[in-house]
Structure 1
């Protein structure tokens, strides 16, 4: 009976719910996060079809329900009203005679341009034919659509699929579709090998090629994937940001997401950017795209893993989670626009919020453990420094696990060291120490950390420099120490214990 009670408690852990105590959790569920979305079972990777409709956020995702490794792709489905608590729904899209269901997007067809009905949800996705890929008898990826008349509960695939046949490109996938009001058309942003190709349509069924971007700019260490095109209003007029995930070739090994700031006229995206900019320097934030139908607000979620080791990270009945949702904005630093990420956390979804105020760190360290004793490995920490200074924050437990993160003033870098944070031997590609450059020029430093049972997400300087990292411990951290070689005053310290 006790065994079955443990399994039941473990299965409760989904998108913000966790078992009452760690001791009652099945040991095989040790790495299940408390407030990041994970599937109940099976494999998960890229977020897909994210859309907001009538008070509900819909998250679809790449899903293999039968095993915990990548395999025949379906679209899994989960819903939320607050982006914190998620409820997993039945699988939305299954493989068919045209292939498995790769990544894509979903839109609300408010004006019934496709003829399926007013305010119908339309999913645009890549059909991937594994038989063609294996036999190399043709081109195995093409774009198809499906529609839902009941707000995402059930889906009908369009009988005329594929709506965009492959024009001769082996990697031809991940359509992200948006309505471009100025040109009165749907615009598809599509990954095409190591560039992005834009297509236009009046009805979501017939597509015409518009332009191409990226062959000679940005990072090209791997294939380009999962693009997203976003418009931002600024004091200087509209600016457009093109997100492009790349694998491999990230700044801290393997997968990562770069971005370009420029202009889009309904046909062509252009950018004067000559440097490479990363949305998140951590190794565990990939394929992130935004929810559609959210007005001028851009809310992004990413897959919290890395293709360099995704299939081998510790798991039991499930594998992989999503990052915390974050809003995106633009900030100008020394004449260059940079993308800013702000995590979405709800104060009314937390307990034990502590406004600690200022802490004077003297004699090298200050013990902050009492503020996280009841966290069970799930809390948010934020603070400020009036001057740029090196510091280490050390999380530890009685088993000897340590996670170290902070700022290195000499190299002007934020960092996470996970070399002693539990199991790190499952892959030689699981990089031990990850870094992100400081982009901000201000002397005052702001620092925010989201810690969950198996992950840390750092948003430094208000979200200009970000680091998302997985780690694998089987006992939560309950010791927190702030260390600095200099005496420093840490201001506006706040801890939220997330339940």
Structure 2
């Protein structure tokens, strides 16, 4: 998945695929409606996908009952890739009721659609990497679409990452919680689908907590997760796990919290020691609601925050509230409205008394966690060890996330980061540093070779220092430090493939809050992340070079390169 070994192995899934035609009967009922009976003892039905056509709606029927339904862009003219439907969930005899929607493209006869000849059953699904832009040391889904990180927690030496996931295509749809685990924040194992859509709605973003005191009554150390059920309305639901987050039981009284607001989502929960209560911060339109509970089931509205503060150029979502050294940081992701267009993460520093968050800055002050274009939905791990505040972003931008040039999967997470605080000219700001585990993935001794998977340490930066990554095709990324303006900039206008979106070309610029002495630049197959070594600046940008950058040109600084192990 993200490690070199995981890209060659497949987390226990076979690389070879033994395909056989599905034992099935197609009933063509109209020019947009098909019923297909599948009788097989094999594990998967492989569904051919064509990304440029409209969605088909598929209902899986067993014993005259709908046991699953989802949307999938079934291939009409050609197959871009296939995705697996796990038949083991239902048994060896199911009926698929398929409705095609929208324009039928080049082929007019439904019986001639490409999907029928290429829809196969198999005991295996090939997850070997077929993408040159798949990250080597960032988390990615084995297949399908991923966006916001959800429900992250640490327990018994294992980091658990859940994420917004579409198992049936590499574009946004069918929101489900996918699940991956890691012991080092770098190498991840895909654990499957943790929480699936139900009658209340699809599964939007949320959070998980380790209930060490058994306040909810599900058992000491149970994992309690809250998520947004996205149906005709957005409501908040709960699920719990008694096997360390591997499987979940949905709370029988869902939804737990309701509202008449249209944008009401992304509950984030933590334990507040001073009041001995659980606190939930929840996006509610253009502000955040703060609620409290003693049992994780019954919630009292305490206060709201947001009116008149920060950027309101888009919808507020994916909040977090963290105590860092006695000050509180409220993270508020916003889409659109980022500093360079599209989605981004802003934050506020202040005080929280268990009831109300009070921002210490002027309402017109806007602070950004990251000054790249591809940093969003950042939230923290619950129960992180040693009092650390470890966060993980989604590494993309809603302006073009569905169009980036990959097919087998779309989207990665940015590097895990540890947060802290610093002061500059009377204001408090976040420090953002790559987590210590990141450096363990790289060689301890530097060399002078620029590769597709390495990091650069640039020291002794002078005013006007430049760092240029380039290749033989003339593609390049140029980074520039302006000591007088106290800024660091990254220009990806000529970085490689950019024509998939008019919004991709850009120069991103970050304040350095004083002198920038040393910068760390992490390069992966499709990303560049730059950090001030002291944590005062972070910048995350996607890049899609047609061949890896293999030339480093640096002026006004000294550089070292460290290779991925």
Match of 1:230 in 2: 322
2:299 equivalent to 1:207: yes
Match of 1:159 in 2: 252
Cα drift, residue 254 of structure 1: 0.6
Match of 1:20 in 2: none
Match of 2:449 in 1: 372
2:360 equivalent to 1:272: yes
2:445 equivalent to 1:343: no
**Residues 82-101 of structure 1: pairs in structure 2 closer than 5 A:** 82-101=184-203
Per-residue CA shift, 1:139-186, capped at 9, x if unaligned?
x111111011111111100001111122x2111100010000111110
From the superposition, tell whether residues 26 and 479 of structure 1 become closer, same or farther in structure 2 (CA, over 3 Å). Answer: farther
2:479 equivalent to 1:479: no
Match of 1:424 in 2: 498
Is the contact made by 1:243 and 1:258 (CA closer than 8 Å) also made in structure 2? yes
Cα drift, residue 436 of structure 1: 1.1
| Counterpart selection for 1:414 from 481, 488, 491 | 488
Aligned partners of 2:521 and 2:181: how far apart in 1? Answer: 25
Aligned partners of 2:430 and 2:511: how far apart in 1? Answer: 14
| Counterpart selection for 2:173 from 65, 71, 87 | 71
Is the contact made by 2:433 and 2:533 (CA closer than 8 Å) also made in structure 1? no
2:134 equivalent to 1:60: no
| Counterpart selection for 1:254 from 335, 338, 342 | 342
Aligned partners of 1:471 and 1:391: how far apart in 2? Answer: 21
Per-residue CA shift, 1:166-223, capped at 9, x if unaligned?
2x21111000100001111100010111101101111111111010001111000000
| Counterpart selection for 1:325 from 382, 400, 416 | 416
2:268 equivalent to 1:176: yes
Is the contact made by 1:123 and 1:147 (CA closer than 8 Å) also made in structure 2? yes
Per-residue CA shift, 1:228-276, capped at 9, x if unaligned?
000011xxxx100000000000011111101100000000000121211
Question: Which runs of structure 1 show a deviation greater than 6 angstroms over 4 or more consecutive aligned residues?
Answer: none
Per-residue CA shift, 1:20-75, capped at 9, x if unaligned?
xxxxx999501101100100100000000000010000000000010111001000
Aligned partners of 2:557 and 2:220: how far apart in 1? Answer: 58
From the superposition, tell whether residues 14 and 480 of structure 1 become closer, same or farther in structure 2 (CA, over 3 Å). Answer: farther
Aligned partners of 1:243 and 1:291: how far apart in 2? Answer: 13
Structure 2: any 5+ residue segments left out of the alignment?
12-126
Is the contact made by 1:324 and 1:343 (CA closer than 8 Å) also made in structure 2? yes
Aligned partners of 1:218 and 1:296: how far apart in 2? Answer: 28
2:371 equivalent to 1:281: yes
Cα drift, residue 434 of structure 1: 1.2
Match of 1:141 in 2: 234
Aligned partners of 2:278 and 2:391: how far apart in 1? Answer: 20
From the superposition, tell whether residues 347 and 308 of structure 1 become closer, same or farther in structure 2 (CA, over 3 Å). Answer: closer
Is the contact made by 1:257 and 1:286 (CA closer than 8 Å) also made in structure 2? yes
Per-residue CA shift, 1:96-119, capped at 9, x if unaligned?
001000000000011111111110
| Counterpart selection for 1:401 from 475, 480, 483 | 475
| Counterpart selection for 1:290 from 380, 404, 407 | 380
> Which structure carries more relative contact order (alpha carbon 8 Å, separation 6+)?
1
Is the contact made by 2:8 and 2:129 (CA closer than 8 Å) also made in structure 1? no
From the superposition, tell whether residues 189 and 92 of structure 1 become closer, same or farther in structure 2 (CA, over 3 Å). Answer: same
Aligned partners of 1:318 and 1:43: how far apart in 2? Answer: 6
Aligned partners of 2:296 and 2:466: how far apart in 1? Answer: 51
| Counterpart selection for 2:399 from 297, 308, 317 | 308
Structure 1: any 5+ residue segments left out of the alignment?
1-7, 16-24, 133-139, 355-369
Aligned partners of 1:383 and 1:398: how far apart in 2? Answer: 23
From the superposition, tell whether residues 314 and 406 of structure 1 become closer, same or farther in structure 2 (CA, over 3 Å). Answer: same
2:311 equivalent to 1:219: yes
| Counterpart selection for 2:205 from 103, 114, 119 | 103
From the superposition, tell whether residues 348 and 255 of structure 1 become closer, same or farther in structure 2 (CA, over 3 Å). Answer: closer
Aligned partners of 1:325 and 1:46: how far apart in 2? Answer: 14
Is the contact made by 2:351 and 2:360 (CA closer than 8 Å) also made in structure 1? no
